Amino acid sequence: MKKFISILIIATLALSFALFTTGCTDFADTDTDNQATVSAESNKKETVAKETVAKAEESSNKLGDYTVDIEGCRLSTDYQGKDVVIVKYLFTNVSDDEPAAFFVSLDAQVYQDGVGLNEAYFLDDSANYSSDNSTKEIKKGASIEVEVAYELNDSTTDIEVEVQEYFSFDDAVVAKTFSLQ
């Protein structure tokens, strides 16, 4: 009886092994095709990323491993009805390192009459504002539009926007002035 059970177990294991290797062979052929497709798509994405990085590196708005364009601003109100300005940035990661987020990589300051403005966090629903992109990490070659809202001291005085890299020995600053009138 023990001999019969041993033979049955060995036969079951042999059959399982045979089915397993046969199944793996079928998948290996399709896997090679899938790898070739994934490799081609990966190469295409890498080429697009390299082109984006090359264009961004030519920009005068380069801050270390990133570029930033201060694209514009618009007026709105917070939940208490106070005036705010929403500044729109285009953030591009041109580093060779890991993904980066605008919020962690760059220091954006807005001034009105030489006085720094506080960020506004709770805006009126009509502001059509989302601050989510400032914390999203982007890979090399990727760009993302980021909006940041600031509480205004008044709604007529010009604002000055300045952006610099957080951790850098370089004094490079990207700056732009906007008239609110």
Cα 76 from chain centroid (whole Å)? 25
How many domains in the chain?
Answer: 2
Amino acid 102 reads F
Pair (77, 26) in one structural domain: no
pLDDT of residue 10: 61
CATH number at residue 136: 2.60.40.1240
pTM of the model: 0.68
Task: Label residue 138 left, alpha or beta by phi (over 0 means left) and psi (-120 to 50 means alpha).
Answer: beta
Pair (50, 80) in one structural domain: no
Q: In what order do the strands lie in the sheet with 83-93?
A: 62-63, 66-77, 83-93, 143-151
Q: Which residue has the tokens 């604002």?
A: 159
**Cα–Cα nearest to 86, from 134, 158, 156, 150:** 150
Asked whether the predicted pLDDT for residue 53 surpasses 60, the reply is no
Pair (68, 54) in one structural domain: no
Pair (67, 8) in one structural domain: no
Q: Which domain holds residue 41?
A: 1-58
pLDDT of residue 62: 94
Pair (114, 165) in one structural domain: yes
Residue 177, Cβ neighbours under 10 Å: how many? 11
Amino acid 118 reads N
Asked whether the predicted pLDDT for residue 28 surpasses 70, the reply is no
Pair (35, 104) in one structural domain: no
- 61-99 pLDDT per residue, tens: 999 999 999 999 999 999 999 999 999 999 999 988 889
Asked whether the predicted pLDDT for residue 127 surpasses 60, the reply is yes
**What distance in Å separates the CA atoms of residue 172 and residue 164, rounded to the nearest whole number?**
6
Among 2-11, 148-157, 162-171, the range scoring the smallest mean pLDDT is 2-11
Q: Which of 36, 58, 80 is the last residue of a domain?
A: 58
Pair (102, 166) in one structural domain: yes
Pair (54, 70) in one structural domain: no
Pair (28, 116) in one structural domain: no
Question: Is 70 within 8 Å of 174 (Cβ atoms)?
Answer: yes
> Is 23 in a helix, a strand, or coil?
helix
Amino acid 59 reads S
**What distance in Å separates the CA atoms of residue 144 and residue 166, rounded to the nearest whole number?**
18
